[in-house]
């Protein structure tokens, strides 16, 4: 570890610590500034070592698949944590799947389908990783993580603990994780069945209705109770709205796009303009589903 890293009181770990790493290439939007420190622990034990040894007040940001995230143009101060290969293992059991936090949702769905297990097909329609899916109770196509989660293991300064789905009190796009806890792996129950037809339906539906091949971040705003965010956005005249290199998708107007030259500031400002127009038109205050992290340029 460098002397500078030591001066920032980042503890020695078996994984990698790098300074000033550009983060835009790691995000689906392809925008954002660098990480002051990008840290990749080797395993859950290494992650606990990191958490217990960080200096008090050191900023810590967990970066998963970065599929539902805007990193601001000034980057992320402190430690940016990215879980890698040691956290991506997927194990098939007779009645379920145990998956590491870095495993992609679609990979878990594919492993289940290949093993003749059904019930996890909805994960194939969620662009993200298992850690994020658990932390925000991700859902799509009529199912949510809370419907299939048995338990999740989380790393804290007290070590690794296993929490049941009931203990996590999963609700709409939320899990009651202990303060500072980081999901390391989870178990999902499934049932014998042919998942292929449902996964094909989900794939076709995504292709038909979402800008899946664009630089985007998934659903931008949460659905208000009893309403659809996209319908409110459309009714407010925001479909196709542009700000710099950022655009509201014409295919699905709850998606923001980087058309090629957008900055994080333009994407966030466009989202706020959409919120203002929807509030003015319908009286509904949309809540961001995409996380916006970091500092402005």
Please tell me the distance from the alpha carbon of residue 36 to that of residue 18, in angstroms, as a whole number: 8
Count other C-beta atoms under 10 Å from residue 261's C-beta: 10
Please enumerate in sequence order all residues whose Cβ is within 8 A of that of 52, keeping only pairs 6 or more positions apart, or say none: 11, 157
Question: Which residues make beta-bridge pairs with 174?
Answer: 171
Identify which of 154, 156, 184, 157 has the alpha carbon closest to the alpha carbon of residue 168. Answer: 154
Identify which of 116, 120, 95 has the alpha carbon closest to the alpha carbon of residue 106. Answer: 120
Please enumerate in sequence order all residues whose Cβ is within 8 A of that of 282, keeping only pairs 6 or more positions apart, or say none: 232, 235, 236
SS (H, E, C) 83-116: CCHHHCCEEEECCEEEEECCCEHHHHHHHHHHCC
Please enumerate in sequence order all residues whose Cβ is within 8 A of that of 194, keeping only pairs 6 or more positions apart, or say none: 116, 118
Helix or strand or coil: residue 278? helix
- By annotation, the residues acting in catalysis are 173, 219, 289
Please enumerate in sequence order all residues whose Cβ is within 8 A of that of 288, keeping only pairs 6 or more positions apart, or say none: 220, 221, 222, 271
């Amino acid at each position: 570890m460098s002397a500078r890293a030591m001066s920032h009181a980042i503890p020695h770990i078996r994984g990698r610590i790098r300074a000033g790493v550009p983060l835009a290439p790691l995000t689906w939007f392809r925008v954002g500034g660098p990480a002051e420190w990008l840290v990749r622990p080797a395993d859950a034990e290494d992650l606990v070592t990191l958490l217990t040894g960080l200096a008090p007040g050191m900023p810590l940001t967990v970066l998963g698949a970065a599929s539902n995230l805007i990193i601001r143009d000034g980057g992320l101060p402190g430690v940016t944590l990215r879980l890698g290969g040691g956290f991506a293992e997927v194990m098939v059991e007779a009645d379920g799947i145990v998956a590491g936090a870095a495993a992609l949702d679609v990979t878990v769905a594919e492993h289940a389908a290949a093993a003749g297990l059904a019930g996890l097909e909805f994960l194939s329609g969620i662009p993200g990783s298992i850690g994020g899916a658990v932390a925000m109770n991700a859902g799509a196509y009529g199912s949510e993580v809370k419907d299939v989660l048995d338990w999740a293991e989380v790393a804290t300064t007290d070590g690794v603990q296993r929490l049941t789905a009931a203990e996590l009190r999963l609700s709409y796009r939320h899990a009651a994780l202990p303060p500072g806890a980081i999901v390391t792996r989870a178990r999902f129950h499934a049932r014998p069945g042919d998942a292929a037809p449902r996964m094909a339906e989900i794939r076709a539906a995504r292709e038909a209705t979402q800008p899946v091949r664009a630089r985007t971040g998934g659903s931008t705003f949460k659905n208000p109770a009893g309403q659809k965010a996209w319908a409110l956005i459309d009714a407010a005249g925001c479909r196709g709205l542009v700000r710099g290199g950022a655009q509201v998708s014409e295919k699905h107007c709850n998606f923001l796009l980087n058309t090629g030259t957008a900055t994080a500031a333009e994407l966030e400002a466009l989202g706020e303009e959409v919120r203002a127009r929807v509030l003015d038109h319908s009286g509904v205050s949309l809540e961001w589903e995409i996380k916006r992290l970091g500092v402005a340029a």
